[in-house]
Amino acid sequence: MPFVEYLSAKGVVPGIKVDIGLKEMEGHVGEQITKWDDALDSRLKEYYQMGARFAKWRAVITIGENIPSDECILENCKNLTEYARLCQSNNIVPIVEPEVLMDGAHTIERCEEVTHKTLSVLFAELKKANIDLSGLILKPNMVISGLDGEKVSSDVIAQKTVQCFKETVPAEVAGIVFLSGGQSEAESCENLSAISKLAKEQNAPWKLTFSYGRALQNSAIKNWLGKDENKTKSQEIFAHRAKLASAASKGEYSADME
């Protein structure tokens, strides 16, 4: 049975990552853009026929000395917009992922500044292209300090994230699904829970949830090691992390649930 059919039979909506990786931006040291694919339209048509109903495209914005540049932000946002347009023209929901990387020692204030600028440019481009924002999902970073920077509390992360998004993300956006971006499993839950709780208190207009990779899978993969005898325990670990992330998306996570 094709995997797509198996998922659909379980009530899971199948989707696919369609970007083809990153490349260095010419003339911009330390900055990257997502490679463009002239076959994207035909690929999306094929993926729809195969059962895909959403897609994902990731752009990365690096914080460093004198970067990101306005040119890098704009080019990545233009590519995200064209991707979203092609998705919607093929009846596929685009997940738009402009990730401001956690790499570095920058402050949370610097992340807030760059995230605010990136999202402002992105939604200006999306509106210019008449993208249906109610048929689009945003996959952003949280507003958070760099991995090598000074750690701040989940309450501060929540305050800065919700404020930034209220100023930049239109109310009609269907949903926001946060990436974990290098946070630990527990941190990603703690911070998402604080953000979700505050957003609810402030009557934020969007639905919030998670779209985690390592923060869901890391412990399960480390336990599994590709060995059949570890399969059941690894499934239990994965299910436990999914339940914790789900609780966090409702603002109901606490550390004693670990």
The per-residue pLDDT string of the chain (258 residues; one tens digit each, 9 = 90 and over) reads: 999 999 999 999 999 999 999 999 999 999 999 999 999 999 999 999 999 999 999 999 999 999 999 999 999 999 999 999 999 999 999 999 999 999 999 999 999 999 999 999 999 999 999 999 999 999 999 999 999 999 999 999 999 999 999 999 999 999 999 999 999 999 999 999 999 999 999 999 999 999 999 999 999 999 999 999 999 999 999 999 999 999 999 999 999 999
**CA-CA distance, 252 to 189, in Å (whole number)?**
10
127 is catalytic: no
Query: What pLDDT is attached to residue 226?
Result: 95
Q: Report yes or no: 115 and 99 within 8 Å, Cβ to Cβ.
A: no
Query: What pLDDT is attached to residue 101?
Result: 98
Contacts of 14 (CB under 8 A, 6+ apart): 3, 4, 7, 8, 51, 52, 53
Listing from the earlier edge strand, what are the strands of the sheet with 137-138? 15-17, 54-61, 93-100, 137-138, 175-178, 207-210
Contacts of 81 (CB under 8 A, 6+ apart): 122, 125, 126, 128, 129, 131
Query: What pLDDT is attached to residue 244?
Result: 98
Contacts of 116 (CB under 8 A, 6+ apart): 164, 167, 168
Query: What pLDDT is attached to residue 125?
Result: 98
Q: Tell me the whole-structure pTM to 2 decimals.
A: 0.95
Which residue in the list 97, 112, 125, 190 is annotated as catalytic? 97
Domain boundaries, the chain: 3-215
Which residue in the list 56, 139, 160, 197 is annotated as catalytic? 139
Query: What pLDDT is attached to residue 10?
Result: 96
229 is catalytic: no
Q: What is the CATH number of domain 3-215?
A: 3.20.20.70
